[in-house]
């Protein structure tokens, strides 16, 4: 990996510098060189699947980091390793400055001693205990806490989440949304220094999910907890994250704010995973101070944001977000500078309410464009229409891999 | 965690259990190969040149093969009917093929003895008349239960539920779209069954066939009670005779034969486990599927009648026969209603040995069930916690006793614990030890399945929230697996109450249990008292097992919220 980057600087800030600036006690979680492989018995023979591949990862105090990636990318394994539910093969994990796992030092602190809160995908509410018993459970094992104090804290937390009064019910009697909030209450009641979320919203309908996400966001703003949140839902990730960490095949591909990850993705994988992207294979023809000339199958374009050190002839990818692609009626005049203009035919036009997704064929190449309703009188192009596709210079991005 | 008091207690338990299981087996191996420290050539020659042995082995083989050939297809067919077609009516119908398990094999045998004995059976006369009316002349002793046909018939009746349970579980985990795809391609229902359903569960089929073989070889009560009159000697009865009908007891030969049987069955058992483990994980994705049941149309009621007939033959009729004979003064095929009385029960209650037997059996049953179920629960939870290879080995070790016919294991227990240095022969404790080992596999299966259903997340949540292993076990795991354990408890209770195989070897006048009582009543020919005890066992078993099955249903809301992944 390092070899490729030296010859091909896409100019993206890796954001590693941000992490190393924070002093140790400010870090809620610090993971170093973590590696975990599973032996699978799939098919004949025993194969090793590396779930977490030498990952370095930090969470600052008050920061909610979202681990985003498809199934099998290792995000859940990483989360569980932090919780202590998986024992890594090597590396180090420290929570709040205290080492809880280190292979070299022979340290492994079991989950019950890590003092964290966790929300499970299936909520994991104990069905034979009442809501009160469920939420009180983490407090009951703490020494020196009186019954009254426990009761007060539990009522407090439940009320704060809008589920007061359900004390005597059983989880089986609650709705999905209520169960979710009780599970969250249980995670919060011990005032843990770290909260872990294992895809807690994946079993819930879309509308309920939205509401619960909003509630989580509000909670984060109020209590400013430090946390790690795992999800495969890109929208959810962007809504909740202070920092977004995109994972693939056991490695973290990019760690940055949502805005940074979306607008300046570090790789094609990240660009494609977070949001939609138009992507074309391309090669550098020439580079100078200001811009580079890039050729793709359908055009030669001049774009910015390519570092000087990139040599002509380097192969890579040209990407542009669909919402940056402008589609106008044939022959219209526009007021901004255009890097590329071409006539095309609309292959498909899908109406989504807030936007319209269009696929246009420009001389054999397909371009995806998202149009939104900024002009009340405007009608969207329909399938078969002829249109002009406009691509602005600054909307492009060059990516190496 | 490794040095917590909880872990130490579990470790001690594991060692104790392993000792109880492997010491008797080890003794058998040692005594068979090197009795008194010397290689046992003479003993082996003596054993294998005994005249009755080859006949017993041949008979056992024949019966085992016939049983498997009939019971496995029948069990699979029933499982398919209940799980995959609309022959099923209501959730209770799932229990239908399992009902025969309510009746211990000993009660089944005695009941059928009363029903189909060539001379005095209730059904024999009407059936023979019926056949004669069709123009065929038949000798009653061919139709009677003490014949090859009768014996295999009973073996099959008793084996089918065991096959059914495995096949039904496999079918219910099957993705229904497999069959739907076949139907859409135009396959008829029966073709669908043979082409798609059966191959899809072939591992379950294979493993249940092997289990059938194992249990047929080891079964003692049916051939003991019915085979002797038919002059059909099988291996288990042969071994029993070596100990009880020879003076001095030919324990050496019994041990040698036991050793050989263990090796043979052990290999079959390992093969069975390998095949069973080749079944993939449950093929259902998502939160649960409502399988589309195959519509049988006009075949629906015939199928249901078939199932009901099966239940009648295995449970209802024998129990009725037992009840009637128990109310007669002496067993005779004509029922004279005015003569029926409960005199037998009173006579029974007044006999000190009978009373002792019932009390002993009840206490033993309660003690064994409770202990073995708690031990199995603890081991299952511990195994799940350890995970990986430890879990696998623990799973295998707790099942080893099922690879040994109970009667042979009892011989091992007798030799291991009965004399020096333990001197437990003739006590109830030796029976307790034998039962503990012998019923651990069943309890473990129930416990492991319960632990499996609870899933991992509920336990992980407890750990994350600060709960030590001991507290997690007490407050989270044990309460959640209780329903499954309770089902296991009741099943084992019923099994111990009617247990004959180990009782035949280990129980005697000093420590009588019901099994011993039954054998003596049978030997003495006091059939009406035999019927009385058979009825009592039948009813007690039926009630406890039904209660268990009801109790074992998930109680805490939808199963979907039971810890998930």
**Does residue A151 fall inside a structural domain?**
no
**Does residue A13 fall inside a structural domain?**
no
Say if residue B18 is in the same domain as residue B88: no
* pLDDT for the residue numbered A91: 94
Contacts of B369 (CB under 8 A, 6+ apart): B439, B488, B489, B490, B492, B493, B496
- How close is the nearest chain A Cα to the Cα of B467, in Å? 6
Say if residue A237 is in the same domain as residue A341: no
* Position A1 confidence tier, pLDDT thresholds 50, 70, 90: very low
Say if residue A266 is in the same domain as residue A232: yes
Q: pLDDT (tens digit, 9 = 90+) per residue, A113-123?
A: 888 999 998 88
To the nearest 10°, report the CA torsion of B175, B180, B181, B184.
Answer: 180
| Chain B contact set for A95 (CB, 8 A) | none
Say if residue B440 is in the same domain as residue B377: yes
Angle among Cα B396, B1, B486 to the nearest 5 degrees reads: 50
Which domain-ending residue is among A216, A239, A272? A272
| Chain A contact set for B474 (CB, 8 A) | none
pLDDT tops 80 at residue A7: no
Say if residue B211 is in the same domain as residue B109: yes
Say if residue A214 is in the same domain as residue A67: yes
Domain that holds residue A83: 18-116+192-272
Output the domain CATH number for residue A287.
2.40.50.100
Say if residue B19 is in the same domain as residue B110: no
The mean predicted confidence, pLDDT, of chain A is 85
* B467/A124 touch (CB, cutoff 8 Å), yes or no: no
Which domain-ending residue is among A226, A245, A272? A272
Say if residue B379 is in the same domain as residue B298: no
* B557/A111 touch (CB, cutoff 8 Å), yes or no: no
Distances (CA, A) of B361 to A121, A283, A397, B369: 48, 87, 83, 12
Say if residue A101 is in the same domain as residue A248: yes
Nearest residue in B to A136, CA atom:
B465
- How close is the nearest chain B Cα to the Cα of A214, in Å? 24
Say if residue A260 is in the same domain as residue A282: no
Comparing CA positions, the residue from B103, B126, B107, B118 lying closest to residue B149 is B118
| Chain A contact set for B465 (CB, 8 A) | 112, 117-118, 137-138, 141, 186, 190
* pLDDT for the residue numbered A24: 53
Say if residue A242 is in the same domain as residue A112: yes
* B564/A124 touch (CB, cutoff 8 Å), yes or no: yes
Instruction: Return the residue matching tokens 């985990």.
Output: B173
**Does residue B452 fall inside a structural domain?**
yes
Say if residue B82 is in the same domain as residue B193: yes
> Mean pLDDT across the stretch A146-170?
91
Angle among Cα B168, B173, B175 to the nearest 5 degrees reads: 120
**Does residue B55 fall inside a structural domain?**
no
pLDDT tops 80 at residue A5: no
* pLDDT for the residue numbered A185: 92
B394 compared with A90, residue with greater pLDDT: A90
pLDDT tops 60 at residue A42: no
**Does residue B73 fall inside a structural domain?**
yes
Angstrom distance (rounded) from CA B158 to CA B180: 33
Please tell me what DSSP assigns to residue B330: S
Q: pLDDT (tens digit, 9 = 90+) per residue, A159-178?
A: 988 889 899 999 989 988 88
* B1/A116 touch (CB, cutoff 8 Å), yes or no: no
| DSSP conformation letters of B190-256 | HHHIIIIIHHHTHHHHHHHHHHHHHHHHH--HHIIIIITTTT---HHHHHHHHHHSSSS--HHHHHH
Which domain-ending residue is among B301, B336, B371? B336
User: Which residue out of B461, B473, B557 would a mutagenesis test of the A interface target, given it has the greatest number of A Cβ atoms within 10 Å?
Assistant: B461
Say if residue B300 is in the same domain as residue B367: no
pLDDT tops 90 at residue A155: yes
How many domains are contained in chain B?
A: 2
Say if residue A213 is in the same domain as residue A299: no
**Does residue A155 fall inside a structural domain?**
no
* pLDDT for the residue numbered A92: 94
- How close is the nearest chain B Cα to the Cα of A111, in Å? 5
Put the strands of the sheet holding A278-287 in their side by side order.
Answer: A300-303, A292-296, A278-287, A315-320, A397-399
Say if residue A393 is in the same domain as residue A326: yes
> Mean pLDDT across the stretch A226-242?
93
Angstrom distance (rounded) from CA B424 to CA B429: 7
Element (H, E) at B82: helix B51-84
B179 compared with A282, residue with greater pLDDT: A282
> Angle, to 10 degrees, between the axis of helix B527-551 and the axis of helix B343-350?
90
Strand A315-320 versus strand A278-287 pairing type: antiparallel
| Chain B contact set for A121 (CB, 8 A) | 457, 564-565
Which domain-ending residue is among B280, B313, B336? B336
Of B463, B464, B557, the CB nearest to A127: B557
Angstrom distance (rounded) from CA B444 to CA B382: 12
Comparing CA positions, the residue from A308, A319, A312, A345 lying closest to residue A401 is A319
How many domains are contained in chain A?
A: 2
* A111/B463 touch (CB, cutoff 8 Å), yes or no: yes
Nearest residue in B to A113, CA atom:
B466
Domain that holds residue B482: 1-29+350-555
**Does residue B243 fall inside a structural domain?**
no
Contacts of B424 (CB under 8 A, 6+ apart): B417, B418, B430, B433
**Does residue A268 fall inside a structural domain?**
yes
Angstrom distance (rounded) from CA A43 to CA B240: 46
| Chain A contact set for B461 (CB, 8 A) | 118, 120, 124, 126
Say if residue A305 is in the same domain as residue A243: no
Q: A379: which 2 tokens? A: 């009608």
User: Which residue out of A87, A107, A127 would a mutagenesis test of the B interface target, given it has the greatest number of B Cβ atoms within 10 Å?
Assistant: A127
* B465/A190 touch (CB, cutoff 8 Å), yes or no: yes
B552 compared with A318, residue with greater pLDDT: A318
Angstrom distance (rounded) from CA B486 to CA B552: 7
Highest mean pLDDT among A31-40, A236-245, A324-333, B408-417: A236-245
- How close is the nearest chain B Cα to the Cα of A138, in Å? 5
* pLDDT for the residue numbered A401: 67
Angstrom distance (rounded) from CA B124 to CA B130: 10
Say if residue A68 is in the same domain as residue A196: yes
SS3 A84: coil
Q: B185: which 2 tokens? A: 């391609």
User: Which residue out of B285, B464, B470, B554 would a mutagenesis test of the A interface target, given it has the greatest number of A Cβ atoms within 10 Å?
Assistant: B464
Return the number of other C-beta atoms located less than 10 Å from residue B268's C-beta: 17
A192 compared with B333, residue with greater pLDDT: A192
**Does residue B275 fall inside a structural domain?**
no
Please tell me what DSSP assigns to residue B91: G
Nearest residue in A to B2, CA atom:
A110
* Position A249 confidence tier, pLDDT thresholds 50, 70, 90: very high
- How close is the nearest chain A Cα to the Cα of B479, in Å? 8
* B464/A112 touch (CB, cutoff 8 Å), yes or no: yes
* pLDDT for the residue numbered B565: 27
Output the domain CATH number for residue A30.
3.40.50.300
Angstrom distance (rounded) from CA A67 to CA B110: 67
User: CB pairs below 8 Å between A and B: how many?
Assistant: 87
Angstrom distance (rounded) from CA B456 to CA B462: 10
**Does residue B448 fall inside a structural domain?**
yes
What pLDDT tens digit does each residue of chain B (565 aa) get?
456 777 788 888 888 988 999 999 988 888 888 877 777 788 888 888 888 899 999 999 999 999 999 999 999 888 888 887 877 777 667 777 777 777 788 888 888 888 888 777 888 777 777 888 887 777 766 667 788 888 999 999 888 888 887 888 778 777 777 777 777 777 677 777 777 777 777 777 887 888 888 888 888 888 988 887 778 889 988 988 888 888 888 888 888 888 888 888 888 888 888 877 776 543 433 334 455 677 777 888 888 888 888 888 888 888 888 888 888 877 777 777 777 788 888 887 888 888 888 888 889 999 999 999 989 988 888 888 777 788 888 888 888 888 888 888 888 898 888 887 888 888 888 999 999 999 998 888 888 888 877 778 898 999 899 888 888 888 888 888 887 788 788 888 888 888 888 888 888 888 888 888 888 888 888 888 888 888 888 888 888 877 777 766 555 443 333 333 2
Contacts of B319 (CB under 8 A, 6+ apart): B103, B107, B111, B535, B538, B539, B542
**Does residue A299 fall inside a structural domain?**
yes
* A124/B558 touch (CB, cutoff 8 Å), yes or no: no
Say if residue B176 is in the same domain as residue B199: yes
Distances (CA, A) of A314 to A5, A172, A281, A394, A400: 12, 60, 11, 20, 8
Please tell me what DSSP assigns to residue B294: B
| Chain B contact set for A85 (CB, 8 A) | 460, 463-464
> Mean pLDDT across the stretch A252-271?
92
Say if residue B332 is in the same domain as residue B368: no
Say if residue A248 is in the same domain as residue A295: no
CA atoms within 13 A on the CB side of B538: 26
* A112/B463 touch (CB, cutoff 8 Å), yes or no: yes
* pLDDT for the residue numbered A100: 93
**Does residue B483 fall inside a structural domain?**
yes
Return the number of other C-beta atoms located less than 10 Å from residue B118's C-beta: 20
Angstrom distance (rounded) from CA A344 to CA B198: 57
Element (H, E) at A367: strand A365-372
Say if residue B22 is in the same domain as residue B115: no
> Mean pLDDT across the stretch A98-107?
92
Say if residue B329 is in the same domain as residue B467: no
* B466/A126 touch (CB, cutoff 8 Å), yes or no: no
Distances (CA, A) of A326 to A148, A263, B441: 63, 17, 71
* A173/B557 touch (CB, cutoff 8 Å), yes or no: yes
* pLDDT for the residue numbered B440: 92
> Angle, to 10 degrees, between the axis of helix B51-84 and the axis of helix B148-172?
40
**Does residue B276 fall inside a structural domain?**
no
Exposure string of B5-41, with b = 16+ CB inside 10 Å and e = fewer, is: ebeeebeeebeebeebbbbbbebbbbbbeebeeeebe
Which domain-ending residue is among A272, A304, A332? A272
Contacts of A335 (CB under 8 A, 6+ apart): none
Which domain-ending residue is among B274, B301, B336? B336
* pLDDT for the residue numbered B561: 32
**Does residue A40 fall inside a structural domain?**
yes
Please tell me what DSSP assigns to residue A313: T
Angstrom distance (rounded) from CA B41 to CA B47: 10
* pLDDT for the residue numbered A373: 73
Output the domain CATH number for residue B3.
1.10.3720.10
Answer whether A35's CB lies under 8 Å from A89's CB.
yes
**Does residue A249 fall inside a structural domain?**
yes
Say if residue A99 is in the same domain as residue A196: yes
| Chain A contact set for B562 (CB, 8 A) | 127
Element (H, E) at A138: helix A131-140
Angstrom distance (rounded) from CA B456 to CA B384: 9
Comparing CA positions, the residue from B248, B252, B242, B101 lying closest to residue B166 is B101
Say if residue B442 is in the same domain as residue B321: no
**Does residue A207 fall inside a structural domain?**
yes
């Amino acid at each position: 990996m390092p070899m490729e980057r030296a010859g091909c600087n896409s100019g993206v800030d890796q954001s590693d510098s941000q992490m190393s600036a924070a002093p140790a006690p400010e870090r809620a979680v610090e993971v170093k060189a973590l590696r975990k492989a599973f032996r699978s018995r799939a098919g004949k023979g025993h194969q090793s699947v590396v779930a977490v591949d030498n990952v370095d990862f930090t969470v600052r105090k008050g920061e909610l980091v979202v681990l985003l990636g498809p199934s099998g990318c290792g995000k859940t394994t990483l989360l569980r390793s932090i919780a202590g539910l998986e024992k890594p093969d090597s590396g180090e994990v420290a929570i709040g400055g205290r080492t809880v796992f280190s292979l070299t030092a022979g340290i492994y602190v079991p989950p019950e001693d890590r003092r964290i809160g966790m929300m499970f995908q299936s909520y994991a509410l104990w069905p034979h205990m009442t809501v009160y018993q469920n939420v009180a459970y983490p407090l009951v094992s703490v020494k020196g806490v009186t019954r009254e104090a426990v009761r007060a804290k539990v009522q407090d937390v439940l009320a704060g989440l809008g589920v007061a009064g359900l004390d005597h019910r059983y989880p089986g009697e609650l709705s999905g949304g209520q169960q979710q909030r009780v599970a969250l209450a249980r995670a919060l009641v011990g005032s843990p220094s770290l909260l872990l979320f294992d895809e807690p919203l994946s079993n819930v309908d879309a509308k309920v999910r939205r509401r619960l996400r909003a509630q989580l966001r509000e909670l984060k703003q109020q209590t400013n907890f430090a946390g790690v949140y795992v999800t495969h839902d890109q929208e959810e990730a962007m809504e909740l994250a202070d920092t977004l960490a995109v994972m693939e095949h056991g490695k973290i591909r990019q760690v940055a704010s949502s805005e940074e990850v979306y607008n300046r993705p570090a790789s094609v994988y990240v660009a494609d995973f977070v949001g939609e992207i138009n992507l074309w294979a391309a090669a550098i023809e020439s580079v100078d101070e200001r811009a580079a000339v890039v050729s793709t199958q359908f055009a030669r374009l001049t774009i910015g944001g390519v570092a000087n050190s990139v040599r002509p002839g380097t192969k890579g990818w040209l990407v542009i977000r669909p919402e940056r692609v402008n589609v106008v009626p044939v022959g219209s005049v526009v007021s901004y500078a255009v890097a590329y203009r071409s006539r095309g035919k609309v292959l498909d036009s899908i109406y989504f309410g807030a936007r319209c997704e269009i696929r246009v064929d420009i001389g054999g190449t397909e371009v995806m464009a998202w149009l939104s309703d900024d002009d009340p009188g405007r009608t969207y192009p329909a399938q078969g229409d002829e249109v002009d596709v406009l691509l602005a210079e600054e909307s492009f991005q060059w990516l190496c891999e | 965690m490794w040095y917590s008091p909880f872990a130490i207690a579990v470790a001690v338990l594991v060692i104790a259990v392993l000792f109880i299981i492997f010491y008797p087996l080890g003794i058998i191996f040692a005594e068979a190969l090197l009795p008194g420290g010397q290689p046992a050539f003479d003993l082996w020659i003596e054993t294998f040149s005994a005249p009755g042995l080859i006949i017993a082995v041949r008979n056992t083989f024949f019966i085992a093969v016939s049983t498997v050939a009939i019971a496995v297809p029948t069990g699979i067919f029933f499982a398919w009917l209940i799980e995959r077609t609309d022959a099923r009516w209501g959730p209770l119908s799932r229990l239908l093929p399992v009902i025969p398990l309510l009746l211990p094999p000993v009660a089944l045998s005695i009941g059928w003895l009363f029903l189909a004995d060539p001379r005095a059976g209730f059904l024999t006369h009407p059936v023979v008349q019926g056949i004669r009316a069709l123009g065929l002349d038949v000798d009653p002793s061919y139709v009677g239960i003490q014949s090859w046909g009768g014996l295999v018939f009973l073996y099959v009746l008793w084996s089918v539920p065991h096959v059914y349970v495995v096949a039904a579980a496999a079918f219910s985990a099957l993705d229904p779209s497999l069959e739907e795809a076949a139907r859409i391609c135009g396959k008829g229902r029966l073709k669908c069954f043979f082409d798609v359903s059966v191959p899809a569960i072939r591992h379950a089929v294979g493993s249940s066939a092997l289990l059938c073989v194992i249990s047929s070889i080891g079964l003692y009560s049916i051939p003991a009670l019915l085979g002797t009159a038919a002059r059909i000697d099988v291996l288990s009865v042969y071994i029993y005779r070596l100990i009880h009908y020879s003076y001095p007891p030919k324990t050496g030969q019994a041990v040698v034969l036991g050793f050989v049987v263990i090796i043979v069955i052990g290999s079959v058992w390992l093969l069975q486990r390998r095949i069973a483990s080749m079944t993939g994980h449950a093929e259902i994705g998502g939160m649960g599927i409502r399988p589309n049941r195959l519509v049988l149309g006009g075949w629906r009621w015939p199928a249901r009648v078939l199932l009901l007939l099966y239940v009648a033959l295995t449970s209802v009729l024998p129990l009725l026969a037992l009840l009637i004979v128990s109310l007669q003064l002496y067993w005779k095929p004509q029922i004279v209603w005015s003569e029926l009385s409960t005199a037998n029960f009173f006579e029974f209650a007044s006999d000190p040995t009978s009373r002792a037997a019932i009390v002993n059996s009840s206490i033993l049953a309660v003690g064994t069930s409770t202990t073995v179920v708690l031990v199995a629960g603890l081991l299952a939870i511990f195994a799940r916690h350890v995970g990986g290879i430890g879990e696998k080995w623990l799973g295998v070790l707790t099942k080893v006793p099922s690879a040994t016919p109970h009667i042979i294991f009892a011989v091992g227990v007798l030799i291991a614990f009965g004399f020096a240095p333990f001197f437990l022969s003739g006590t109830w404790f030796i029976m307790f030890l034998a039962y503990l080992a012998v019923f651990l596999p069943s309890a473990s299966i129930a416990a492991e399945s319960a632990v499996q259903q609870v899933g991992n997340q509920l336990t992980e949540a407890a750990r994350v929230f600060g709960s030590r292993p001991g507290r997690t076990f007490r407050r989270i795991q044990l309460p959640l697996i209780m329903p499954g354990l309770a089902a296991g408890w009741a099943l084992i209770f019923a099994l111990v109450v009617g247990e004959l195989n180990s009782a035949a070897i280990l129980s005697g006048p000093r420590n009588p249990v019901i099994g011993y009582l039954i054998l003596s009543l049978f030997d003495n020919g006091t059939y009406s008292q035999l019927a009385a005890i058979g009825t009592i066992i039948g009813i007690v078993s039926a009630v406890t097992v039904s209660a268990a099955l009801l109790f074992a249903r998930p109680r805490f809301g939808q199963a979907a919220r039971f810890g998930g992944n």
